[in-house]
Amino acid sequence: MMARLPNFLTMLRILLIPVFVLLFFLGGVERSYGATAIFALAALTDWADGYLARRYNGVSPFGTFLDPVADKLMVATALVLICATGEMPAVLAGILTSIIVGREITVSALREWMAEIGERKKVSVSWLGKIKATLQMLAILFLVYSGPLAGGIAARDIGIVLLLLAAAMTLWSMVDYLRAAWPSLMGRQAPGH
């Protein structure tokens, strides 16, 4: 049972997307608390499914494939919704969303190609990718929550700062993955291979 739980959590994350979208567009309390809670739950399942898969030997090809897909679907959906609200300057929202989604597409394609040539380990998840993902999740949580925080601080302002940091980490991690894959991309072997 415990070995199948990670796949269940990954599927749950995907199934939560339409609920998140609905609550987001309802606005008001539904958005502030409902959509924020759903996104927080999705972020927690992202951490939990990986932990449980390793802890209970539940790592499976299905989970290995679907986990990053679920993450990218939830993050991309949230960013598109945030862009659609007009609550952030449109140019800033568009640029940051393009950086984050563009990086995800690029790195996914890079990992697929590297796997085809037997070099997948060169572009496995790194600490930079984990920091990037954490910053993205935190930024989105603050941007989805539309109420004020303690002391009258606007959650949106904290979200924008965190999204700027997430975009910077996103670019840094993409460059790191491309650098690791560069010899293979150029048809050369890295020294020592």
d(CA 139, CA 158): 7
pLDDT per residue over 32-91, tens digit each? 899 999 999 999 998 888 788 888 777 778 777 888 889 999 999 999 999 999 888 999
166-181 pLDDT, tens digit each: 999 999 999 988 988 8
Band of residue 189 on the pLDDT scale cut at 50, 70, 90: low
User: Is it the case that residue 4 has pLDDT exceeding 80?
Assistant: no
> Tokens 């560069």 identify what position?
182
> Where is pLDDT greater, at 191 or 123?
123
How far is residue 109's CA from residue 168's CA, in Å, rounded to a whole number? 20
For the chain, how many helices (H) and strands (E)? 7, 0
Q: What domains lie within the chain, and their CATH numbers?
A: 5-185 (1.20.120.1760)
The model's pLDDT over 79-108, given as tens digits with 9 standing for 90+, comes to 999 999 988 899 999 999 999 999 999 988
